Structure 1
Amino acid sequence: MHKYFSILLIFPFLFVFSQQKEEKSISDLEVHYEYSYTRDTTDVDPSHRSKEIMVLDFNPSSSIYYSQQYLAARKVFEQAAIAAQTSANIEIRTADLPKYKISYSIYRNGSQIYYTGNIFRDVFTFESTYLKWNTNYKDVKTILGYQCNKATTNFNNRTFTAWYTKDIPISEGIYRFKGLTGLILEINDEKNYHSFKAISIEKKQTEIKPLQKGIPVTREQYIKREKNLKVIRILKEKNSQKKEEIK
């Protein structure tokens, strides 16, 4: 049986940060990255890794980083919301929605970085801080025709190695990896659980703004909520297993 979303349920999905009456921020460049990652660190089969195309729209003063498929899904809801203004019965089949695995987004405004993500049905936003980088390396390599320098940082108890180009002298990068003297084109942790690599760079004028509005929390509060949700899921799985054993 196909599942449907009622139009009444999609309006929370469309909330955006309130915008003051000011000039819009327009991107200079758009970079597409292939994000490859493993959900199970014990599974070393490369064919089992998940992949998603991530997008970074930016200029010197602001940026937005998101999943390409996630934005495509949002546009389906936005079009449905517009159609709902003239029709009372608007439904969306989940089977027709673009498939995505990554629903968080990272918005930078000046020196402020904001992470917005879903925990179950709720959306939360917390302000992130810049990471500390070690750039004392002489290693260089070429990515998409750009000469890149090596840098490392510690994040979530892992060491990440980044390759950034001073040929694009804007302090931007994937996810929360920003703060170098050039654009990051590639980064991965020492065990390659998470790997990001630029696959295209083009000039593109896109409005830079947050994709949605989240409940303001601290990073610590967000992590705690995530852990609580994982515990609940584990307990539900165990209860389901016990019921099956009883049967």
Structure 2
Amino acid sequence: MKYYLILFVIIYPNLFSQIKFNVDYEADYELNYRDMNTPNALVAKTTFALLLNKNESFFKNMNKYILDSLVYEKKISYSGNAYQDMKVTEKYYSDFPETIGTTSAKMYISLPIYNKNFRYEEPNAINWQLFNEFKTIGKYKCQKAIAKKYGRTWIAWFAKEIPFPFGPYKFSGLPGLILEVSDERKDYVYTMYSFRKRKYTCNSANMYKDSKLVDKKKVFDFKRKSMQDVNKFKQIIDDPEIIKIVTKEAPKMAKSYNPIELSIY
């Protein structure tokens, strides 16, 4: 509970609104990841929803997908008190609070930092190299592709049978849906476990209100930096025991943090 509060304070957003998204299909992914670069680092798991239509996609963590829907439907409301709201939303916590919209030309990323919301844009330009290697994932024949991006080498498997040039996280631009993608070290491994036709409007696709447009450099690696900013916690947490834990552990966590993006490009 105490560690959850520490992380909740980092990403707690207090402003919400909605951007709608027209959904024709949904692909769901499991992510196995190691976000700490330490010996015998534990592998954590979480899931994501990739909402699709022929022109664009929208990617968000499944817990956030559910939470945002409940907030939009007014089944959950925020009081403005971080601790009280944490108790209500604890089971929906995610290490991945960002939302990612992708078109053929650009990616649009929104995310909270402390109690403010930001957004940045990136060109959708991954230079994939295709290989004449194939494997079956579920019922789909998939082809191999490799690209260097964000400081890692990524191996993707895509299915031409599903003619959408999208995939999990920021991975797209292949002649078929990406069903699996991982870095060479397998610190981050996305695998699709469900694909189905949908036909609805997701009213809570992006719930970050009044997000400030910034250069990616302004928000890159914010989590590592925020891990070391003990003063931010002191403004909200008045429990001496938690402050003591934060002060001792924050520098270690920041140094060992292993984000999905090791570099901006």
Band the TM-score falls in, shorter-chain normalisation = 0.7 to 0.9
**CA shift at 1:94, angstroms?**
3.4
Give the secondary structure class of the aligned counterpart of 1:181. Answer: coil
Going from structure 1 to structure 2, the CA distance change for 1:241 and 1:211 (only over 3 Å counts) comes to closer
Q: Counterparts of 2:23 and 2:126 in 1: how far apart (Å)?
A: 26
Structure 1 letter corresponding to 2:215: T
Summarize the alignment of residues 39-118 of structure 1 with structure 2, pairs less than 5 Å apart: 39-44=35-40, 48-80=42-74, 94-97=86-89, 98-101=91-94, 102-109=96-103, 111-118=105-112
Going from structure 1 to structure 2, the CA distance change for 1:38 and 1:234 (only over 3 Å counts) comes to farther
Q: Could you list the runs of 5+ residues in structure 1 that have no partner in the other structure? A: 4-9, 18-23, 85-91, 243-247
Q: Counterparts of 2:13 and 2:185 in 1: how far apart (Å)?
A: 40
**CA shift at 1:239, angstroms?**
8.4
Structure 1 stretches of at least 4 aligned residues deviating more than 6 Å after TM superposition: 81-84, 234-239
Give the secondary structure class of the aligned counterpart of 2:23. Answer: coil
**CA shift at 1:51, angstroms?**
1.1
Structure 2 letter corresponding to 1:191: R
Going from structure 1 to structure 2, the CA distance change for 1:15 and 1:187 (only over 3 Å counts) comes to same
Q: Counterparts of 2:208 and 2:116 in 1: how far apart (Å)?
A: 12
- Residue 142 of structure 1 corresponds to 136
1:131 and 1:153 in contact (8 A); partners too:
no
- Residue 16 of structure 1 corresponds to 18
Give the secondary structure class of the aligned counterpart of 2:87. Answer: helix
- Report the more deviating stretch, 165-174 or 126-135: 126-135
- Residue 220 of structure 1 corresponds to 217
Q: Could you list the runs of 5+ residues in structure 2 that have no partner in the other structure? A: 6-11, 79-83, 234-243, 250-265
**CA shift at 1:204, angstroms?**
0.9
TM-score of the pair, normalised by structure 1 = 0.76
- Residue 130 of structure 1 corresponds to 124
Q: Counterparts of 1:186 and 1:111 in 2: how far apart (Å)?
A: 22
Which of 240, 244, 247 is equivalent to 2:247?
A: 240
2:22 and 2:200 in contact (8 A); partners too:
yes
Give the secondary structure class of the aligned counterpart of 1:207. Answer: strand
1:12-67 per-position Cα deviation (integer Å, ceiling 9, x unaligned): 432235xxxxxx7522210110011112122435xx21211100010111211111
- Residue 196 of structure 2 corresponds to 202
Structure 1 letter corresponding to 2:160: K
- 1:168 paired to 2:162: yes
